[in-house]
Structure 1
Amino acid sequence: MQLNTDCTAKPRHCSQQGFTLIEVMLVIVLVGVMISAVQFTFSSSKPEQILQQNSARFAGIFDLAAEYGLLNNVELGLFVKENTYQFLGYDGVQWSPIADNPLFEEFTLPDNVEISLQLDDLPIEEPLLFDSSLLITEEDTDSFFEEEDEEKKIIPQVYMLSGGDITPFSLTFSFAEFTFDDDENVSFKVSGIYSTPLTIEGPIANDSSR
């Protein structure tokens, strides 16, 4: 007896084939988390490799954060301060750390490594896709500029919209004081123009007189 394998004849006996977009993106995020967990657990003593490792970590986590915002329909932001960076979520009222996501928590760079955020003078030919001031309330602005006894609210410098758009920016990783005699003074630059993935440039030779 020949079995009928035509799904059009008996659709209830035929399972759905393929994956949905959400399932595919979830796999991408999970794979990215596993790769980052393996790739960034090692440490290096060579200056160029230290900068390369930290710039690659940042780019990887930023891309994961953008995917997270897209999947969860939430606006995210990047806050850079001195030698640290962290990712924040916007709940419609204020910016706050993203709960239950260790990868997005504040990360402190190794000693002597510094980062420089650039938002202007980038090769941008189109107007900005969104107004970042829409995500900053008057209360946020007051708390940012005024000294208060309570902890100040954190306002990100780079925004990641739930639709996938990001603030154009570049983040340069370099050494605050270069003391390695056997290696060239270099830096690595991570850039994002409107969308992910980010691009990494380097090693870039710096002025030796620095």
Structure 2
Amino acid sequence: MKPTRRVYSSAHNRGFSLLELMVVIVIIGIAAGAVRLAVTSNDPVQELEQAAGQFAYRMERIQDQVLLSNRERGLVFVQDGVYQLEWQEGDETLGEPDIVWSLVEETRLWGVSEDIQLNLTLENQWVELNQALPTEQFALEPHVILLPSEDYTPAYDLVLSLTDSTNDEVRVRADGFNSPEVLRDER
């Protein structure tokens, strides 16, 4: 006697189509996105903290470059960011000062969006930041000088705040010896 074969209908055997699986994956993705949006807080200071962290990171990398090159660098702050300067001895015969500062690169070393406001204090004295770099000859002067000894002078505080609100601030404190430290000030 031969065993009988049972024939299953194709409706029971076919499984899910690729289209059905893709629809389910899209629905799960949308649901996960909605949950993420509902769970995450919309903290406006988070952008400030991220920008301050990027600044502190860049300063550490520049300090490493100064250490390896054994040559001082300068930082000049403007309202929308920071530029890196290098120096060379001036030529008296051309009427140049003893030290001439020039840009390392034409682009900013670090910058912020237009909804972030920067305030700088050097040795506890507030400094008004220019809108842009000076264009006059020999007018570039650094606010901070990075030294090959891994120090920098003077100590500074860079305060980042939102232009439409001064309730929350993020401060980058640099004491002249240690890596810049990011602090969140809540009022």
TM-score (structure 2 length as normaliser): 0.60
Alpha-carbon offset, residue 152 of structure 1:
5.6
Per the alignment, residue 131 of structure 1 pairs with none
Residue identity matched to 2:141? I
2:127 pairs with 1:121 = no
Identity %: 21
Per the alignment, residue 142 of structure 2 pairs with 156
Per the alignment, residue 186 of structure 2 pairs with 205
CA distance in 2, matches of 1:64, 1:86: 14
SS in structure 2 opposite 1:94? strand
Alpha-carbon offset, residue 83 of structure 1:
2.1
Go from structure 1 to structure 2 and tell me whether the alpha carbon gap of 1:149 and 1:116 turns closer, same or farther (over 3 Å shift). closer
Q: Which of residues 44, 48, 51 in structure 2 aligns to 1:47? A: 44
For structure 2, the 5+ residue unaligned runs are 1-41, 90-98, 126-133
SS in structure 2 opposite 1:185? strand
1:80-159 correspondence runs (5 A): 80-92=77-89, 93-99=99-105, 105-121=108-124, 150=136, 153-159=139-145
1:67-86 correspondence runs (5 A): 67-86=64-83
Alpha-carbon offset, residue 106 of structure 1:
4.3
Query: Higher strand proportion, which one?
Result: 2
Go from structure 1 to structure 2 and tell me whether the alpha carbon gap of 1:189 and 1:56 turns closer, same or farther (over 3 Å shift). same
Compute the RMSD of aligned alpha carbons: 2.6
Give CA deviations for 1:66-98 in whole Å, capped at 9, x if unaligned: 111110011111111122211211223321222
Alpha-carbon offset, residue 150 of structure 1:
4.6
Residue identity matched to 1:154? L
Per the alignment, residue 192 of structure 1 pairs with 174
SS in structure 1 opposite 2:45? helix
CA distance in 2, matches of 1:158, 1:165: 10
TM-score (structure 1 length as normaliser): 0.54
Aligned length: 128
